[in-house]
Every structure is written in C-alpha cells, then in structure tokens.
Amino acid sequence: MVRSSTLSIPESNDIPQHLAIIMDGNGRWATKRFLPRTAGHFRGVQAVRRVVEACGERGVKYLTLFAFSSENWRRPKEEVSVLMRLFMQTLDKEISKLENQGVRLHIVGDLSAFEPKLQEMIKEAQARTAGNDALHLTIAANYGGRWDILQALRKLMIAKPELAAQSDAIAESELAPYLSMAYAPEPDLFIRTGGEQRISNFLIWQLAYTELYFSDDFWPDFGAKELDAAFEWYRTRERRFGRTSAQLAK
Ligand code: IPE
Ligand code: IPE
Ligand code: MG
C-alpha cells in the first residue's frame, strides 16, 4: 500500500482520517503547579485516554502519538526511567480495554534500545490487537523521523541490492513501503500542544502535506473540547496539494 501526497491527491474529509500528535508540555504543566515534572507525565496518560476515546467516537481511523523521541534519551536518567516505567504500566493496564474497543495498537521506533521485558510486552500487545480495525493507535517510541528514513533505505537496499547500481530507479514509491508507518495513509492533521511550533524530528517524511495545528494548551489539559477546536480549524483549511484555489472550486 503506497499512499503518497506528492504522488496522488488524498480525499478530503471533515474529520481527519489520520491524526498525528506531539504531546508536549507535561513538564511545564507540572512545574507550574510546583510538582515534579514526572507528575505531568502521569497526568499526560489521562489525556491520552481522553483523546483515544474522543478520536474513536469521531471516526478518526489512525491516531499517532509521539510518546518518546530518539532525542529524549538526553533527559536526566531519572526522568527517562520514570517514562519507561510509565510506558510499561500503561501498556499493561490499558491493553485489555484497547483490545475490547477494537483498537489495533502499533508501536513504531527503534525498539531495540528498550529493555527486553518492554520489548516483549510491546510484541505481545501488538499481537493481541492484530485482528482489530476500528482505530489504529500508533505510539511512536524511541522514534525519530530521520531514523525512519534511514532504516527504510537500509531495508530497501537489502531487499533490492541491484538498486545501488542504478540510483535513478530509487523512486519515492520504492522507499515508502519500508517506512515504519507504511500501513497508514499520511497524516491529514498534525497537532502539537505546549506552545512550541516545531516538528522535533517526528514524522518528517509523512508530514509533507499535513495541516499543522499548534495549541498553547499543555498536554495534560488537552481533551475532547480542545480536539474539536482543532477539527473545526482543520475544516476551514483548503488542502490544495500544489493546485490553485480555482482548480479546487471546479
Ligand atoms: C512531552 O512533555 C512528553 C515527553 C517528551 C515524553 P515534555 O516532558 O516535553 O514537557 P515540557 O515540554 O518540558 O513542558
Ligand atoms: C517532542 O517533545 C517529543 C515528544 C513529545 C515525545 P520534546 O519536548 O522532546 O521536544 P523539544 O525537545 O522541545 O523540541
Ligand atoms: Mg517538551
């Protein structure tokens, strides 16, 4: 399945088919309340629950959440370790509910860096929900957009070594199937909470034609109401994909 916004024009809908979110501002949410940063991460999990549920109700088909970037290892050791523990606890606690709600869970990123127990849990959680199709929930963990492009290129070169000698033949459509989210269409809408307006090495290939929405809310404060505001903004966008406005009116 190769769906590329630079090769073909995706259908436009009122509700994004694929929503990608950088859940940012947990630390500042906590600091503002004189709490340790990790308290913000715990509260952030509640926001994840709210947003997964709201997306399901609104008919979003693919929801992708940036949980831990390849650069987040640079944080203090204690914070990284709390995040890992929280990831395991949440997976453990939520998996049955997700399974029953028809959610298919995908974890993308360089998982080899995680401790074996977490890798095992990830494998099991993905297997348990593999038959579901109502909502594809992707958690990007130890993910980096540049890592994704490089790992795709490496896989392509292994699968088709003859391409090395004819680099002109390496088309977009050759590489795309090896990207870690090849099972999903490209995001229609991107939301970043926490007030920063940057991509921070998220899905840099896949966001080529995504509508970008920035919210000043900290992630623990984000919920259905804030999501609806983003969707309302999304509906006002004119997605031209290179064409003129007049062409769209036809
Ligand atoms: C996002 O919140 C969560 C992760 C990166 C894991 P932050 O922890 O980045 O919160 P701020 O940006 O410091 O407020
Ligand atoms: C991006 O947030 C990564 C996640 C939300 C997981 P960061 O808070 O790490 O991003 P920067 O470092 O401020 O750009
Ligand atoms: Mg941040």
Q: How far is the CA of 137 from the centre of ligand 1 (A)?
A: 20
Q: How far is the CA of 200 from the centre of ligand 2 (A)?
A: 6
Helices (H), strands (E): how many in the chain? 8, 6
One-letter identity of residue 101 = Q
Asked whether the beta carbons of 170 and 163 are under 8 A apart, the reply is: yes
β-bridge partners, 140: 66, 108
Q: Which ligand 2 atom lies nearest to the CA of residue 23?
A: 5
Whole-angstrom Cα distance, residue 147 to residue 202?
10
Residues contacting residue 65 through CB under 8 Å, at least 6 positions apart: 20, 21, 23, 48, 51, 137, 138, 139, 140
Give the helix/strand (H/E) hosting 106.
strand 103-108
Domains parsed from the chain with CATH numbers: 18-235 (3.40.1180.10)
Tokens representing 30? 């906590």
Q: Which of 21, 22, 26 to mutate to test the pocket of ligand 1 (most atoms within 8 A of CB)?
A: 26
What is the residue-level pLDDT of the chain in tens, covering all 250 positions?
A: 557 899 999 888 899 999 999 999 999 999 999 999 999 999 999 999 999 999 999 999 999 999 999 999 999 999 999 999 999 999 999 999 999 999 999 999 999 999 999 999 999 999 999 999 999 999 999 999 999 999 999 999 999 999 999 988 899 999 999 999 999 999 999 999 999 999 999 999 999 999 999 999 999 999 999 999 999 999 999 999 999 999 998 7
Whole-angstrom Cα distance, residue 86 to residue 72?
15
Which amino acids are annotated catalytic?
24, 72
Q: How far is the CA of 196 from the centre of ligand 3 (A)?
A: 8
Q: Which ligand 1 atom lies nearest to the CA of residue 41?
A: 3
SS3 state at 110: coil
Q: From the CA atom positions of the chain, what is the Rg in Å?
A: 19
Closest residue CA from atom 6 of ligand 1: 68
**Within the chain, where are the H helices?**
26-32, 37-58, 77-100, 116-128, 145-159, 172-175, 224-235, 245-249
Q: Is 220 in the pocket of ligand 1 (CB under 6 A)?
A: no
